Amino acid sequence: MSSGRVSRDACVRMMASVATFCALSAAPLTPQDLAADTPPYSETYRPQFHFTAERNWLNDPNGLVYYEGEYHLFYQYNPNGNSWGDISWGHAVSTDLVHWKQLPLALSYDDNEMVFSGSAVVDWDNTTRFGTKKNPPMVAIYTSHNKSTGVQAQSIAYSTDRGRTWTKYQGNAVIDIGSKDFRDPKVQWYEPTKSWLMTVSLSAEHKVQFYSSKNLKDWRLQSEFGPAGATGGVWECPDLFPLAVDGDPKKTKWVLVVNVNPGGIAGGSAAQYFVGDYDGKRFTADDKGTYNPPTGTVVQDFESTDFGSWTTTGTAFGTAPAAGAVDGQGAVSGYDGKGLANSFHSGDGTTGALTSPSFTVDSKYLNFKVGGGRHPHVDGTEMEQGPPPAGTVLADFEGGTYGGWTATGDAFGTAPATGTLPNQQEVSGFLGSGLVNTHRNGDSTTGTLTSPEFTIDKDHVNFLVGGGNHPVGSDNPTAVELLVDGQVVRSTTGQDGEALHWASWDVKDLAGKKAQIKIVDDNSGGWGHLDVDHIMLSDAQAQPVSQETSVNLIVDGKVVRSATGANSETLDWASFDMRPYAGKEAQIQIVDRNTAGWGHILADRFTESDTPAKSVVQRAGWADYGKDYYAAVSWENAPGGKRYMIGWMNNWDYSGAIPTSPWRGAQSIPREMALRTVDGRIRLTSQPVNSVTSLRQGHPASAIGTTVEDTSKTLIGPAAKGKALDIEATFSPKDAERFGLKVRTGANGEETVIGYDTTTQELYVDRSRSGAVDFNSTFPGVQTAPLKAKDGKVRLRILVDWSSVEVFGGSGEAVITDQIFPDPASQGVQVFAENGTVKLDKAVVWHLGSAHK
């Protein structure tokens, strides 16, 4: 269960970074979203043919099973709110995987446990003795998360009335290994051994375990798989199933799906897969062979006794290349030769930069190896903390008192702190000699500190903040809040570090309002404290300080390409596309501005080449290359031996910040899965379930034989406009570098671009201008998937819903799923070509009706 992380501090902090950015920059929800009288399923961003709960938070699909004419979809659900918490199993059924009927809550949280992800089976032979052979029980196998200990164990529940009511087994848990990272059981009947097979994740160890049972109660461990492939985040929601290769039932391979977060192909959450064989006990992945990176000209390999012409600032990189790990560091691997750049000198607390001489870009790609921390470069940040902007100081916490501020609880003491408190890491970045620091008696204390009322008479509220990352909306926040009329209208948190950095709220829309600042520490766990200083009103936004650990390409004084490590001491290949900067002067800069966990960077073997190097993540198998397809699992017992899969259409990077209400979270369109040989390799492919065509309305709009050159133009005309569309398009590439379709186009350049890049042979979706994108820094951007033209044609199937696009390229080997949040008035569809000509052989646009009617 992907939200298994949320039960622990590490997971809450991950979601907190999302909520923090949202509070700083997100536009308020539209009145339509918030209106109490808006009919259900007609809200601004409500999907019309993707499953959503009528209200409240939803994440992973669970318990996917077909029984007596119904596809069952259970799902992670908060019955009490629109953010993660009180996790239970919601429930819906469908006869066609498109039209869903919501049923009452199936498995509820209670005082002892939350009900995390799992699966369901029909116990046809009544091996559990929960039913009869005439009325076989439906059995749910789920992860029971102990709320007091955090231990995750596998439990079961059963139903004898087609899943309408459930009873938890009195003998739970059926597997308990005492782990806090043991979750998401997928169970199936394995006919050769006449036994049940469970595939379950040891998430933090990047392993999948296989268990066998005769009765779903008594389980025996058979084997383990992993680590393998992408391991940049936890492994969750595994699934194992056989598929015929190229439709040949005599040639069957097994597919192991392992969802990973973070560290997916597009960043954050994603669904990885392996193809191989299963012998009844052990899964063995097919051997892909040894990876040989492209050859080229090495410009820096750090094999000398010094950095040569590269210059250093700060102390993080030392005075010469490192020979592997340095003092206090874990084992470092993956670098070439004897030396590398390593910024762990004196630990994560040091900062600095290592910069190349200026050079003229004359190669297509710059390949290099990178490791260390995953702290990306953020545009607009400063390398050094400067003085505060001019304005009115509301509180600087100097003078030994809190002045007119009101404290509750014991976290704030009787006066501001003067720096670092006992048993606390060094606190830095505050101004003067006083600050708010709630690390009193460690993290165990809680309380609030509230300012006197003031009038918002400037454009920004700026302040310095550090400490814990537990946002408003989590069970136990550590947050700085702006209150207007007693309601929280802005909030932010620390970033799990003791260095204070500037945060800023844009409050122009609140001009003239009476407000208060409230500092809340309601957390007694890890990083359960806040550091705050110098709260002020200003017409200028305070610029945050960089916290990156990154390798940057600098052109014309700006960072134009950037890469980070993956919170790992193993270096892996990365590549910068240099073609847009041919002939320009550039520099490479390796930057460490982070003093918190994984606050260091590793780099080696910078090589100019004509082809890009590929990382382990790029070489892995992905069921979807978009940002919003996670926790993907498949239905058991589907008619005709079909294998249908569905995923949570969201990403943990920003899942709690997407601008939807009164619901949050949607499922992807169900997909029919297949194994096909593509370019000599067996690939997992997917296509939308056929029944989505039942939503097509009237006659389609179509265009045939349209040639497009260096332009964007309206496709077909008004008949193609819409918010919910099913588009099929075939292109014949000519000499255009990029071509494709733009959907949900509208005023002010709003568009979602679905294109094909002939120079890289990649399908892509660019949602940078797709509508609301500013609620999280990782949301806007471009997602790519490798796709070669077949028979000189590029074929696309595109499903557009009110807040998503799903793009299926070729025979389904390249799929990109992305959420979008456009203006409802943005309904245009355009065809485009860049730097040349393309022929649109045919495009057919169907309007899709609502599945809710």
Residues designated catalytic: 60
Q: Give the DSSP letter string of 721-790.
A: --SSEEEEEEEEE-S-SEEEEEEEE-GGG--EEEEEETTTTEEEEE-TTSS--TT-TTSSSEEEEE---B
The β-bridge partners of 644 are: 672
632 closest CA partner among 62, 12, 73, 175: 62
Q: Provide the token pair at 202.
A: 């040891």
d(CA 419, CA 406): 21
Token couple for 397? 């916490």
Instruction: Give, in degrees to the nearest 5, the angle at Cα 112 between 110 and 115.
Output: 60
Q: Which amino acid is at 80?
A: N
DSSP 210-244: EEEESSSSSEEEEEEE-S-S--SSEEEEEEEEEEE
Q: Please give the Cα distance from 154 to 458 (Å, whole number).
A: 55
- Distance, in Å, from the CA atom of 477 to the CA atom of 683, rounded to the nearest integer, reads 44
Rg for the chain (alpha carbons), in Å? 27
Q: Rounded to an integer, what distance in angstroms lies between the CA atom of residue 585 and that of residue 362?
A: 10
Q: CA 351 to CA 600: how far, in whole Å?
A: 8
Cβ–Cβ under 8 Å, residues 208 and 222: no
Report CA-CA distances (Å) from 170 to 93, 123, 130, 160.
27, 18, 12, 16
19 sits in which H/E element: helix 9-25
- The span from the CA of 671 to the CA of 811, in Å, is 13
- The CA-atom distances, in angstroms, between 78 and each of 89, 181, 810 are 8, 21, 38
Q: How many CB atoms lie within 10 A of CB 279?
A: 11
Contact 58, 630 (CB under 8 A): no
* Cis amide bond preceding 173, omega within 30: yes
Q: Give the C-alpha separation, 188 to 90, whole Å.
A: 21
Token pair 């596998």 is at which residue?
154
Contact by Cβ (8 Å): 91, 73: yes
Burial class (CB in 10 A: 0-12, 13-18, 19+), 789: middle
Rounded CA gap, 240 and 208, in Å?
10
Residues 6+ apart with CB under 8 A from 207: 201, 224, 225, 226, 227, 235
Task: Give the per-residue SS3 of 364-376.
Answer: CEEEEEEEECCEC
Count of C-beta atoms within a 10 Å radius of residue 403: 13
Could you tell me the two tokens for 608?
Answer: 């100019």
Structure tokens at 807: 């793009």
Q: What is the CB neighbour count within 10 angstroms for residue 15?
A: 25
292 burial (CB, 10 Å; 0-12 / 13-18 / 19+) is exposed
> Exposure of 161 by Cβ count < 10 A (0-12 exposed, 13-18 middle, 19+ buried)?
exposed
Residues forming beta bridges with residue 847, ordered by sequence position: 697, 725
Task: Show the CA angle centred on residue 258, arms to residues 257 and 264, nearest 5°.
Answer: 115
